[in-house]
Amino acid sequence: MSDHLFSPLSIRGTEVRNRVMVSPMCQYSCDGDGLATDWHEVHLGSRATGGAGIVMTEATAVEPRGRISPDDLGIWSDDHAEALAPIADFIAERGATPAIQLAHAGRKASKTPPWDGSVPLQPDEGGWETLAPSAVPYPFDEDEPPVTKQMTDDDIAAVKDAFVTGAERALDAGFEIAEVHAAHGYLLHEFLSPATNRREDEYGGDFEGRTRLVREIVSEVRAVWPDDKPVFVRVSATDWLPDRESWTAEETARLAPLLADAGADLIDVSAGGIHPDQQIPQTGPNYQVRYAERVAEETDALVGAVGGISEPAQADALIRNERADLAIVGREHLRDPYFALHAAEELGADEDVEWPIQYRRAVGN
CA 321 – CA 319 distance, rounded (Å): 5
CA 114 – CA 169 distance, rounded (Å): 28
Nearest to 269 by CA among 323, 317, 217, 213: 323
> What's the burial of 153, exposed, middle or buried (CB within 10 Å: 0-12/13-18/19+)?
exposed
In eight-state DSSP terms, residue 120 is B
Per-residue DSSP letters for 38-102? HHHHHHHHHHHHTT-SEEEEEEEESSGGG-SSTTS-B-SSHHHHHHHHHHHHHHHHTTPEEEEEE
Q: Residue 21 corresponds to which amino acid?
A: M
Catalytic residue among 28, 138, 186, 203: 186
In order of 14, 236, 334, 354, the CA distances from 360 in angstroms are: 28, 40, 22, 9
In order of 26, 96, 114, 178, the CA distances from 175 in angstroms are: 18, 11, 28, 7
Q: Is 124 helix (H, G, I), strand (E, B) or coil?
A: helix
CA 104 – CA 159 distance, rounded (Å): 8
Query: Could you confirm whether 338 is annotated as catalytic?
Result: no
Largest CA distance in the chain: 64
> Pairing mode, if any, of strands 148-150 and 177-182?
unpaired
The residues, ordered by sequence, that sit 6+ positions from 252 with a Cβ below 8 Å of its Cβ are 235, 236, 237, 238, 269, 291, 294, 295
* Residues carrying an active site annotation: 186
